[in-house]
């Protein structure tokens, strides 16, 4: 009798696990997105503070993995251009950015809020001076850590609109003087399209 109960319990557990797996797989979303970055490079320390700003762009893909009816984990892979202009010189930093967001859907309104960490891997860094492009990648750290907060609205036809604030947590310059911080933050607006059915 105990063996039969054990077998039934294990069978029930396996059946439940398979159904749960099917439910998660069926709720998996993936898609593409593109947008605009409004960037701010901010330097501060020793009573000194300065910032420069500019406009860049981003594009890539995302996967939304359901945890419950309202909560999803959404990792993304983005080509992320950050640009600023000061005294006629333009700096372009190109990152491969990987945000990992926890997204909470607000009932069935189409709206959701999200938050999570982001790591940026520096692909290239160039500065345009008097029409000449200079490679300045050696002066920057290879990784940039940030915190992301955002809101999204998804239409039933698969198109979604998102706005985020990405706050830089780490120094972007490799040899920043002691007591000085050089951080990169941005506000972005993006349009996405869900490819999964």
* Lowest mean pLDDT across 45-59, 77-91, 112-126: 45-59
| 59-115 confidence digits (pLDDT tens) | 999 999 999 999 999 999 999 999 988 877 889 999 999 999 999 999 889 999 999
* Lowest mean pLDDT across 86-100, 117-131, 152-166, 172-186: 172-186
Max CA pair span of the chain: 86
The beta strand positions in 22-131, using DSSP E, are 29-45, 48-66, 71-86, 89-105, 111-129
Q: How far apart are CA 93 and CA 22, in angstroms?
A: 41
| 105-116 confidence digits (pLDDT tens) | 998 899 999 999
The kind and range of the H/E element at 44 are strand 29-45
- Confidence at residue 188, expressed as pLDDT on a 0 to 100 scale: 97
Residue 4 pLDDT grade (very low, low, confident, very high; cuts 50, 70, 90): very low
Q: Which among 109, 103, 107, 114 is positioned nearest to 155, based on CA atoms?
A: 109
- Confidence at residue 164, expressed as pLDDT on a 0 to 100 scale: 98
Q: How far apart are CA 41 and CA 17, in angstroms?
A: 48
Return the higher-pLDDT residue of 32 and 180: 32
Q: How far apart are CA 59 and CA 97, in angstroms?
A: 10
- Confidence at residue 3, expressed as pLDDT on a 0 to 100 scale: 41
Q: What mean pLDDT comes out for the span 152-159?
A: 95
Domains identified in the chain and CATH numbers? 28-194 (2.40.160.20)
- Confidence at residue 178, expressed as pLDDT on a 0 to 100 scale: 77
Q: Which among 124, 67, 122, 130 is positioned nearest to 98, based on CA atoms?
A: 122
- Confidence at residue 26, expressed as pLDDT on a 0 to 100 scale: 60
The kind and range of the H/E element at 194 are strand 181-194
Q: How far is CA 70 from the centre of its chain?
A: 20
């Amino acid at each position: 009798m105990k063996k039969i109960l054990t077998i039934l319990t294990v069978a029930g557990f396996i059946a439940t696990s398979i159904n749960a797996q099917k439910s998660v797989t069926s709720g998996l979303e993936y898609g593409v997105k593109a947008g605009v970055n409004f960037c701010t490079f901010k330097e501060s320390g020793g009573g000194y503070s300065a910032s420069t700003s500019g406009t860049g762009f981003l594009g890539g893909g995302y996967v939304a993995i359901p945890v419950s009816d309202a909560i999803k984990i959404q990792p993304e892979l983005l080509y992320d251009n950050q640009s600023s202009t000061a005294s006629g010189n333009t700096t372009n930093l190109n990152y491969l950015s990987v945000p990992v967001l926890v997204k909470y859907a607000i009932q069935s309104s189409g709206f959701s809020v999200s938050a999570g960490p982001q790591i940026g891997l520096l692909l290239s860094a160039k500065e345009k001076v008097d029409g000449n492009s200079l490679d300045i990648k050696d002066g920057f750290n290879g990784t940039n850590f940030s915190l992301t907060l955002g809101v999204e609205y998804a239409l039933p036809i698969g198109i979604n609109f998102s706005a985020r604030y990405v706050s830089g947590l780490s120094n972007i310059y490799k040899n920043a003087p002691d007591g000085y911080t050089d951080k990169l933050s941005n506000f972005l607006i993006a349009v996405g399209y869900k490819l999964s059915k």
